[in-house]
């Protein structure tokens, strides 16, 4: 598997969460994050996939730029975070809701990153912490289970 298309829902630095509505073909404002909380990187999905939560697979696009809702970016998968999160309606039940990590094909700063272990500093920890806090604000729980390396992430997406 080479590159995957990622549709951006919420851009890096945004305090507004957008969701793509497949029925209307528009992006909808889903929520406003608390003061001071913003998405650390572009957040989107891989089209024509479906996770356990019923939504397309989530992807964090790590790059030096911010895009916009609806932008399609060709990306290299570098891994992911296997995770569980509580459902909105049944807060006790945990479901798988992995976060895949990708680098834009045209990134210059991150062009040498091929695997999650190649990322500088504590980027993965910061992403995990963001989703813990993001879910906590909604009264939900997010639990990172383990890191996925590039090969495992590619296999998981290919199998769907």
What does each C-alpha distance from 26 to 9, 21, 31, 44, 73 come to in angstroms? 10, 6, 15, 14, 18
pLDDT of residue 127: 97
- 3-class DSSP string for 15-53: CEEEEEECCCCEEEEEEECCCCCCCCCEEEECCCCCCCC
Q: Which domain holds residue 25?
A: 3-158
CATH number, position 120: 3.90.80.10
pTM to 2 decimal places: 0.94
Q: Which of 57, 69, 58 is nearest to 16 (CA)?
A: 69
Total domains present in the chain: 1
Q: pLDDT digits over 113-145, tens only?
A: 999 999 987 999 999 999 999 999 989 999 999
* Predicted local distance difference test score (pLDDT) of residue 90: 59
Please tell me the predicted confidence (pLDDT) of residue 53: 87
Give 154's contacts (C-beta < 8 A, 6+ positions apart): 1, 77
CB atoms inside a 10 Å sphere around CB 32: 11
| pLDDT tens per residue, range 44-101 | 999 999 998 889 999 999 999 999 999 999 999 999 999 999 976 556 789 999 999 9
* pLDDT beyond 70 at 3: yes
Distance CA 37, CA 46 (A): 24
User: Buried b / exposed e across 128-147, counting CB within 10 Å, b at 16+?
Assistant: bebbbebbeeeebebebeeb
Predicted pLDDT at 132: 96
Predicted pLDDT of residue 67? 97
pLDDT value of residue 143: 96
């Amino acid at each position: 598997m080479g590159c995957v298309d990622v549709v951006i829902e919420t851009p890096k630095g945004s305090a507004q969460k957008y969701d793509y509505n497949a029925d209307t073909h528009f992006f909808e404002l889903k929520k406003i994050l608390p003061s001071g909380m913003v998405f650390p990187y572009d957040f989107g999905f891989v089209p024509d996939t479906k996770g356990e939560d019923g939504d397309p697979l989530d992807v964090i696009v790590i790059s030096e730029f911010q895009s916009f809702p609806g932008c399609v970016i060709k990306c290299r998968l570098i891994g992911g975070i296997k995770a569980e999160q509580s459902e909105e309606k049944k807060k006790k039940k945990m479901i798988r809701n992995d976060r895949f990590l990708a680098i834009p094909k045209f990134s210059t700063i991150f062009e040498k990153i091929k695997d999650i272990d190649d990322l500088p500093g504590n980027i993965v920890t910061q992403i995990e912490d963001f989703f813990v806090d993001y879910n906590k604000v909604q009264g939900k729980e997010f639990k990172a289970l383990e890191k996925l390396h590039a090969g495992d992430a590619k296999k998981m997406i290919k199998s769907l």
